[in-house]
Amino acid sequence: MNNKIDKKTVKKGLLPYLFLFIIMLGAFYILKIGNKVVNDLSYDEFIDNLDKGNITELQVVARGSGYTYEVSGSLSSYKDNESFESTLPLSEEVMKKIVKASDEQEFKLTVKPDPDSSSLLLILVNVLPIVLLVGGAFWFFNKQLAGNRSSLDFGKSRARLNSDDNKVTFKDVAGLKEEKEEVKELIDFLKNPKRFQKLGARIPKGVLLVGPPGTGKTLLAKAVAGEANVPFYFISGSDFVELFVGVGASRVRDMFQQAKRNAPCLIFIEEIDAVGRQRGTGLGGGHDEREQTLNQLLTEMDGFGANEGIIIIAATNRPDVLDPALLRPGRFDRQVTVNLPDVRGREEILEVHARNKILANGITLQNLAKRTPGFSGADLENLLNEAALLAVRRNKNEITMSEIDEATDRVLMGPAKVSRKYSENDRKLVAYHEAGHAVIGIKLRNASDVQKVTIIPRGSAGGYNMMVPTEEKLCSTKTDLLEEITGLLGGRTAEEITFGEITTGAHNDFEKATKIARAMVTEYGMSDLGPLQFEQPSGSVFLGRDYNKPQHFSNEVANEIDMEMRKIIDDCHKKAHEIINKNKSLLKLIAETLLEYETLTKEQIDYLVENGKMPDEDENNLESLSITKLRELAKEKGIKNYSKMNKAELLKELDV
């Protein structure tokens, strides 16, 4: 591919020079002709000069079609750029006279045949126009037919055959141990189908991969095809549906016909919910074209026709919207749930994506995996890539923990808004708000570990507190949820106790706390109302299931639900008040340190809680220094307006 690109680039680069050379050559030729002087001699003048012996050179061209001789040459009295031309009658006497004079006067005589009598020229003049006309007409009609053929290709399948260049195997898929075991049967069947048929076993016709975005569903399907070494067709669900009626169903038929010719093979349908949604749902009824496509897909998967050797793998993160007929045994016989990876799975995924990256000494993937709960495989790949980009931008030869911390923040919250200016009063409010979250996290036994606290704005937040569970749990207890709500209310509580005033900065905390409290009452049965489920997680209105959904409880019960939610929030708020009132000195210590350093890591927070001060500063690592120390260094270097700069601006001025 690179060679082709290089050749094309070289040709394009030579074209201007070639064009310039042709222009210069033409100009030189025109100038050369323009310097020549050609005199027309009559027949009598030519004979007179021939008799007097004035001719030094002569060329004779016989024009058979015009019955004349055309002669040209030069006279003894002419200059170097001067010549003559003349037309003579076509007679034998004239030619004898010219030959006799040439013998006597010994001038150079050249006789040329008639150029019009050339057979090649005759072909070019008479045949070439006809050839060009016929060829042009043939090209025009052929192009028109090709256009008509492409317009008739709407019904052809858009499924593409995966090439060996992009071959993926199970070595490239990490963190999906159970999921890989589930699909290994497909590989065994494709390699040795007789082994299964011997005992009357039927391999699943379809496997549906279900899970959140970025968990590796597409990668797993590619690995199945790579391990089985069979043709692998992949297509998106949206490729079936077109403007024209019947196109989607036609493409489904054509796709299965291609697959039958290459059986055994795999068909992978990405985002099958685009074509496999439930029929007859939605506020405006069903979509006829999409439903026809789905009907054809259902028929091909388990109809009267046999599709032996064809296995369909589909992926979706919306299994709730799929048509029940698509999920029944005989079509998608097996559903494989691809969940977010646990800490061990994240470590394996990081090992795969860290193969070509240079990490600094002291960075272990195990610790990095513990710091990233809830990250998908795509998030982890993006995390390491962002860290590598930051290291290159900072002219480093390896990826350090500083780049990984910044990359984590970028993935979660977006880039830092270091240029955003806000008053010292706002900085103090944000510092005490985030310190309130940190104090609750430190003092509650079942609360999450505080990994990082910062007052640098990111996204729409003025600061944030990163808290990671001490251990990953499959289920959350009532105590866990209550302490999580208490931690969310810690920021507002710190504002109330410190300033006697409240701000709008806790609106996102309230949103999360209210959602947890309502779920505890209406879904989990964790209230005085007992083990009853009053609500279910809301679905999509446009599926036609939750529009005007009836309420299955009375107004009195609705009031009790509101009262229970209020009770949960009030109890957690009181507990947050108690904890922060008992630890005002710790709250002030963390807040004042945040104002000085802007960002605190878990190690710094642990040292601060244990010793009441920050670790000794390392002047070789400017990023770990306080704002006061950075301003002193900026003053020594003569940087102007250093007293008005924040930490990010100071680091930039100090070339960090």
CB 267 within 8 A of CB 159: yes
> Parallel, antiparallel, or unpaired: how do β-strands 265-270 and 232-236 relate?
parallel
Q: Taking 60 as the threshold, does the pLDDT of residue 541 lie above it? A: no
Q: What is the pLDDT of residue 513?
A: 92
Length reported for the chain: 656
DSSP secondary structure letter of residue 417: -
Q: For the chain, state the CA radius of gyration.
A: 43
The residue among 291, 298, 290 whose CA lies nearest residue 314 is 298
Mean pLDDT lowest among 39-48, 120-129, 449-458: 120-129
Dist CA 356 CA 501 (whole Å): 52
Q: Which of 347, 434, 483, 598 is catalytic?
A: 434
Q: What is the pLDDT of residues 130-156, one digit of tens each?
A: 777 777 766 766 665 554 444 445 445
Please state, in angstroms and as integers, the Cα–Cα distance from residue 276 to each residue in 13, 258, 291, 448, following that order.
Answer: 52, 21, 8, 41
DSSP secondary structure letter of residue 215: S
Q: Taking 90 as the threshold, does the pLDDT of residue 572 lie above it? A: yes
**Mean pLDDT of all residues in 252-261:** 79
**Mean pLDDT of all residues in 621-639:** 73
> Could you give the 3-state DSSP secondary structure of residue 388?
helix
Dist CA 319 CA 520 (whole Å): 25
Q: What is the pLDDT of residue 517?
A: 93
Q: Which residue has the higher pLDDT, 287 or 653?
A: 653
Q: What is the pLDDT of residues 408-422, one digit of tens each?
A: 888 877 777 766 667
Q: Taking 70 as the threshold, does the pLDDT of residue 377 lie above it? A: yes
Q: What is the pLDDT of residue 118?
A: 54
Q: Which residue has tokens 């000794």?
A: 616
Instruction: Tell me the β-bridge partners of 60.
Output: 71, 111
Dist CA 324 CA 317 (whole Å): 16
Q: Taking 80 as the threshold, does the pLDDT of residue 319 lie above it? A: yes
* pLDDT winner (highest mean) among 443-457, 543-557, 641-655: 443-457
**Mean pLDDT of all residues in 89-106:** 75
Q: What is the pLDDT of residue 497?
A: 92
Active site residue 484: no
What is the residue-wise DSSP string for 578-643? HHHHHTHHHHHHHHHHHHHHSEEEHHHHHHHHHHSSPPPP-TT-GGGS-HHHHHHHHHHTT-TTGG
Q: Taking 90 as the threshold, does the pLDDT of residue 579 lie above it? A: yes
**Mean pLDDT of all residues in 195-199:** 79
Name residue 373's amino acid: P
Dist CA 295 CA 632 (whole Å): 74
Q: Which residue has the higher pLDDT, 485 or 554?
A: 485
Q: What is the pLDDT of residue 154?
A: 47
> Could you give the 3-state DSSP secondary structure of residue 363?
coil
Q: What is the pLDDT of residues 468-479, one digit of tens each?
A: 776 777 788 888
Which percentage of the chain shows pLDDT scores above 70?
76
**Would you call 538 exposed, middle or buried from its count of C-beta atoms within 10 A (0-12, 13-18, 19+)?**
exposed
Dist CA 232 CA 312 (whole Å): 10
**Which spans in 307-423 are helix H?**
324-327, 343-353, 365-370, 377-393, 401-413
* pLDDT winner (highest mean) among 28-32, 171-175, 343-347: 343-347
Q: What is the pLDDT of residues 210-245, one digit of tens each?
A: 888 888 888 888 888 778 777 778 787 777 766 556
Report angle CA 215, 220, 221 to the nearest 5 degrees: 125
Q: What is the pLDDT of residue 152?
A: 46
CB 313 within 8 A of CB 224: yes
Number of separate helices (H) and strands (E) present in the chain: 24, 14
pLDDT band, residue 489 (cuts 50/70/90) = very high
**Which spans in 164-234 are helix H?**
177-191, 193-197, 217-228
The Cα diameter of the chain in Å comes to 139
CB-side neighbour CA atoms (13 Å) of 390: 22
Sign of dihedral through CA atoms 162, 167, 173, 176? positive
Q: Left, alpha or beta for 469 (phi > 0: left; psi -120 to 50: alpha)?
A: beta
**Mean pLDDT of all residues in 576-603:** 89
pLDDT band, residue 344 (cuts 50/70/90) = confident
* Average confidence score pLDDT of the chain: 77
Q: What is the pLDDT of residues 157-179, one digit of tens each?
A: 555 556 555 677 888 888 888 88
How is the beta sheet containing 599-601 ordered, strand by strand?
A: 464-468, 449-454, 599-601
Dist CA 565 CA 194 (whole Å): 61
**Mean pLDDT of all residues in 254-259:** 79
Q: What is the pLDDT of residue 562?
A: 92
Q: What is the pLDDT of residue 544?
A: 46
The beta strands (E) that lie in 36-137 are given as 37-40, 55-63, 68-75, 82-89, 108-112
Q: Which residue has the higher pLDDT, 497 or 643?
A: 497
